[in-house]
Structure 1
Amino acid sequence: MPGGRLTHDDRRQIAAWLADGLGYAEIGRRLGRPTSTISREVARNGATGTYLADPAQQAAGHRARRRKPGRTAEPVTDGQPTEVVRGFVDDFATLLAATGLPRMTARVFVCLLTADGGGLTAADLVRRLRVSPASVSKSIGSLEAMELVVRRPDTGGRRERYLIDDDVWLRAWQADTGAHGEIATAAQRGIEIFGADTAVGARLGAMGRFFARLSEQMSGSPLGQAVAYDGLTVLAALVHAGRPLTLGTLATALGWPRERATAALEAVRCQPALADPLALLAVGPETYSLTTRPDRLSPAQRAALSTARTANL
């Protein structure tokens, strides 16, 4: 029955469906089992490259007989059997792995995510995931590098516990925001190298606009918002003047310290979407003007507009 041990009939069905090319998720759905149950069954009881029902049944029976007598029942976590929790960890880890996170690292992360507030030691993770200490150590190192986990001393200070604290999502958010801004800036440099009129320039332009907007929307820093607001003010000043302005002229006209005007111009340079559909243009030493963004229109669109303008003259 669903939730219990796999029967010989279950294994016959698994073998038949695998032969038909079905994936673990579909087989699990048909049997009413977690995907992880099917994947573990094939990994544990299947021969190399092949899963057959009868040998799998014999392997499972042999493994059951080798278990130590008097073994206590596995613990229950949050009212759910450990097997169900393990299934959730594996399924959730599969989703995270699809985003690019290594599968073992994803399993360790979800295991910590589903632990209580005290976190887990490395030994706890090894026991829960049934993997080697080296695998846990490598995954913890990767998660720490991404600032997704923190370590705390265990009782007595002899061991360390790993946990996901309340600030993890803010750290991840800030890291993504910075990375998106850097991608937007890199895309803009690429446009300057390949040219806005090329197919590469057009693709980089679309990419840059996307990540620049994403970075702006994700930025929750009051300081960042203030600098971006100053950047809009500088743009308004350049539009109103209708001519190039020096940094000194901008600062004096706006009544700002020179450093504030410099920061505002830098914000526009680093976040091109702030000026969209215009672009900040350096026309001389510390002298700035505005132009239309070359990547906003495709080469064909610009050619058509030039033709239309000529026809109207």
Structure 2
Amino acid sequence: MPGGRLTDEDRQHIAAGLAAGLAYAEIGRRLDRPASTIMREVTRNGGPDRYRAAQAHKDTRQRARRRKEPRPATPPPLDTAHGRDPGAVRDISETFTDQLMAQGLPRMEARVLSCLQFSDSGALTAADLVRRLSVSAASVSHAVGFLESQSMLRRERVPGLRRERYVIDDKVWLCSLLTSMQTNHALAVTSKRAAEILGPGTPAGTRFEYAAEILDLVNHALHGAMDEWRRILAERDGGRH
């Protein structure tokens, strides 16, 4: 029924919709479900190209059985102050996490980034993340290391203590884009060199020429977007004083 758990028949319709090239929103409309529900279902079960209804149904039932196992009580994983609806916060947090995963971020890294993004402080210690996400300290450490390498968070000392905390701020996406631009530039340089070695006009050489061109165009557009975002931030910061 609408709003209830997805059935095997629902998953068959989702698989058929994906095969027909339908968007999540259209599949959701046909099933009377939110597009976010369809996206989470597909993301958790292999993605658009690997989604199989029968396997998704089986895996979901196994996850449900595991969730029924008794677990120690944990505090709410998200900040629910300011009169927020805990259910709505949890739902949008799960959607945001799944979208990060759809962009290629590993699951644990996506959960850590989402946890920081949804916290009002924007700063949590390793112990905070372990408690909020109910995962091991090793999992948090590995995820933090990856996110730090991508400039998506930074470390700082907790005042008066020897512990570190991990911080996310308004410039996190700007830093992430800068890292992406640096990677794109390196790929463009290598692609141009590959085109020279393989020979201009050859099929392989032309393929690398096209790759270099699109990477340069993307970096040019990102550079303009970053300049505009810096301008907006500067205006906002100036308005606070």
Aligned to 1:96: 100
Over 3 Å counting, the alpha-carbon distance change for 1:187 and 1:157 in structure 2 is same
Distance 2:11 2:188 in 1: 47
Cα offset for 1:195?
1.0
Over 3 Å counting, the alpha-carbon distance change for 1:133 and 1:33 in structure 2 is farther
- What pairs up with 1:148-163 in 2 under 5 angstroms? 148-163=152-167
TM-score, length basis structure 1 = 0.50
Aligned to 1:85: 89
Distance 1:204 1:47 in 2: 42
Aligned to 1:105: 109
Aligned to 2:126: 122
- Contact preservation (8 Å) 1:108, 1:136: yes
Distance 2:76 2:208 in 1: 58
State the Cα RMSD in Å.
Answer: 4.3
Cα offset for 1:168?
2.7
- Contact preservation (8 Å) 1:34, 1:87: no
Over 3 Å counting, the alpha-carbon distance change for 1:191 and 1:82 in structure 2 is same
**Aligned letter for 1:184?**
A
Structure 1 residue runs without a partner (length 5+): 223-313
- What pairs up with 1:220-235 in 2 under 5 angstroms? none
- Pick one of 137, 142, 145 that aligns with 2:149: 145
Distance 1:92 1:116 in 2: 16
**Aligned letter for 2:144?**
I
3-state SS of the aligned residue for 2:98?
helix
**Aligned letter for 2:112?**
V
Matched, 1:164 2:168: yes
3-state SS of the aligned residue for 1:173?
helix
Aligned to 1:239: none
3-state SS of the aligned residue for 1:76?
coil
Q: Give CA deviations for 1:116-157 in whole Å, capped at 9, x if unaligned.
A: 235112222223223222221111110111121112222431
- Contact preservation (8 Å) 2:116, 2:124: yes
Q: Percent identity?
A: 33
Over 3 Å counting, the alpha-carbon distance change for 1:67 and 1:33 in structure 2 is farther
Distance 2:144 2:75 in 1: 30
Structure 2 residue runs without a partner (length 5+): 16-23, 46-55, 228-241
Give the aligned length.
Answer: 200
- Pick one of 177, 190, 212 that aligns with 2:181: 177
TM-score, length basis structure 2 = 0.63
Decide which structure has greater strand share: 1
Distance 1:73 1:189 in 2: 52
- What pairs up with 1:194-209 in 2 under 5 angstroms? 194-209=198-213
Matched, 1:51 2:56: no
Cα offset for 1:167?
3.6
**Aligned letter for 1:110?**
S
Distance 2:95 2:142 in 1: 21
- Contact preservation (8 Å) 2:8, 2:57: no
Cα offset for 1:200?
1.2
**Aligned letter for 2:212?**
G
